Chains A and B, each alone.
Chain A
Amino acid sequence: MISGLLGLLTTLRWLFRKPVTAHYPKQHLPVQERYMGFPALLWDETAAEPFCTGCMVCVRECPTQCMSAQMHDNPKFASGESHRRKIIETFEINLNRCILCGICVDVCAFDAIEMSYEHELSSFSRTGARADLGLLLELGERYTETTQWAATNPEKNVASAALAKRAAAAAKTPPGEAEGKA
């Protein structure tokens, strides 16, 4: 009897409080800062190319083998615009297989892949969840904009900084020695 009344009292108290439920399609709750959504590829503005060199580390480390990638020679390396010898040609992630574990981000040495905040990518077609290079870069661009993302190791990975560092290193070395080494 008393417990029943106590129960009713609690219910009554909560009746006049603000609801904690969010009505999902109409109302979106913000994601946390570290939220891991679908993986996205990032764009190096200083060389106008992706960070990804297609080294395949993420492809090999992925527990569900949801990725595939191909690299080719980077034409911008020859022209001196970039420090990347190889650059990604095609990259595909099957987002249906992706389990959002973040291992690809962990193993990437080039700051090329990041878990974006995207989590709503339903589509009507069977192949709709296959994200190609273009879509992945688009997700990455959105992620960069919302989070002010910056490379963790710019001297190694951002083209302008890496090229500047190389130029400085080349200037430091006496010309004779460099030739001798070559």
Chain B
Amino acid sequence: MSAEPQTDTVDMMLNMGPQHPATHGVFRMVLSIDGERIMGVRPHIGYLHRGSEKLSEHESYGQVITLFDRLDYVSNLNNELVFVRAAEELMGVEAPERAQYIRTILCELNRVASHLLFIGTYALDVGAMTPVMYTFRERERVQNLFEHVTGARMMHNYFRIGGLKEDVPGDFAERVLSVVRRLRAGVEETDRLLTFNEVYLARTRGVGVINAEDAISCGLTGPCLRGSGVAYDVRKAYPYEVYERLEFDVPVGEFGDCWDRYWVRLRECYESLRMVEQALEQTPEGPVMAPGRRIARPPKGEVYAHAENPRGDIGVFLVSDGTDKPYRVKVRPPSFCNLVGLERMMEGAYVADAVAILGSLDIVLGEVDR
């Protein structure tokens, strides 16, 4: 009587990335898979680490703004804003009302541009080739407007501690309105094309589900949290700039799956465009820079400022030792914190859905690795 051959089953390790088109950068996931099911995932980050936080300690406050441009490189102005606001709070300076309105308008347009990029590339991730062409075309309108206003398409360096670099050009209002009008048409078109497309629904509905409780305990913020039905938005919860005076809704999802996260971002595009129109109407005339010294030298102290970036709640902890260079700059990057939820979303999913789930988080590696 011979013994039965003993076969041990072990999970297979599958390496995805760092060079993978669906990771939107250099990001590596080590999946442990059992057949077609993902049993666990370990994200490996750091391939794009540039030491921005450490570099900030050697740059003056004005120069740090250029580093913040490069954190989340598809929503540059939102990042500039959070650092500028942190420094302003530390110095006790407040930007003139006009500057605050213009900042809000530009940030919201930037949010639309960022979400358009997400919608296009996410559709590409799950197999739809066309939407990316349409969304990039629309996004280009925003980039052109930014070039017109700030002089650069992406790395603007436009916000200053206490205001703006310079006032907007004379035809700003009409150009913004025309961009908003076209963007709305563009977003609607993408909406019609993609949102209820059957294949798209099949790829995203019920995939990568994370419930509200888990989403909160994982520290998710932004559309990833709102996709799970938690209506937390820094713009509503802790209003900054002029968001208090603008009327907007916080769209939330229902089930916390990939489609809900997409849906939240799509609705946010409409809300942002609404906000831009309102802000444009209310923009007063006046200076765009608070009076005071050009060189920022905040008093000793520390401050934590946060704001709603297209990816979530971005925070900056800024420590000043009274010199013209920050003593410490700590960034709480939303993409990085949202990655915590990745494992919860992926457990039990199919390998084929790994790309769809990762894509729905909308990470930007520049921000994850800093």
- Residues of chain B with a CB closer than 8 A to A10's CB: 189, 192-193
Chain B residues within 8 Å of A31, by CB: 147
Interface flag for B144 (CB, 8 Å):
yes
The answer to the question of B137 belonging to the interface, with a C-beta cut-off of 8 Å to chain A, is yes
In A8-37, the 8 Å CB interface with B consists of 10-11, 20, 31-36
B59 and A63 within 8 A (CB): yes
Are the CB atoms of B169 and A34 closer together than 8 Å?
Answer: yes
Would B169 and A4 count as touching, CB distance under 8 A?
A: no
Chain B contacts of A115 at CB under 8 A? 151
Residue numbers in B under 8 Å from A34 (CB-CB)? 147-151, 169
List chain A residues, Cβ under 8 A from B149.
34
Is A1 in the interface zone, CB < 8 Å from B?
yes
Chain B residues with a Cβ under 8 A of chain A? 59-60, 62-63, 66-67, 130, 137, 140, 144, 147-152, 155, 157, 165, 169, 189, 192-193, 196-198
Tell me the minimal C-beta distance from A54 to chain B in angstroms.
21
Query: Can you report 14 residue pairs joining A to B where beta carbons are below 8 Å apart?
Result: A3-B196, A6-B193, A7-B130, A7-B197, A32-B144, A32-B148, A32-B151, A33-B169, A35-B147, A35-B152, A36-B152, A100-B152, A102-B165, A115-B151
Compute how far the CA of A7 lies from the CA of B199 in the bound complex, rounded to whole angstroms.
Answer: 12
- Contact check, A20 vs B63: say whether CB atoms are below 8 A apart: no
Residue positions of A touching B, CB distance < 8 A: 1, 3-4, 6-7, 10-11, 20, 31-36, 61, 63, 99-103, 106, 115
**Complex CA distance for A31 and B148, rounded to whole angstroms:** 9
Given A6-B192, A32-B151, A34-B147: A99 in contact with B66 (beta carbons within 8 A): yes
Nearest B-chain residue to A31, judged by Cβ = B147
How far is B155's CA from A25's CA once the two chains are assembled, in angstroms?
23
CB distance from A134 to the nearest CB of B (A): 25
Chain A contacts for B59, CB-based, 8 A: 63
A-B pairs with the 9 shortest C-beta distances? Answer: A63-B63, A36-B151, A34-B151, A101-B157, A32-B148, A32-B147, A3-B197, A101-B66, A63-B66
CA distance A105 to B198 in the complex (A): 53
Q: Are B63 and A7 in contact (CB-based, < 8 A)?
A: no
Q: Contacts A20-B137, A32-B148 known; list 15 others, CB within 8 Å.
A: A3-B198, A4-B198, A6-B193, A7-B130, A10-B189, A10-B193, A34-B149, A34-B151, A35-B152, A101-B66, A101-B155, A102-B165, A103-B62, A103-B66, A106-B165
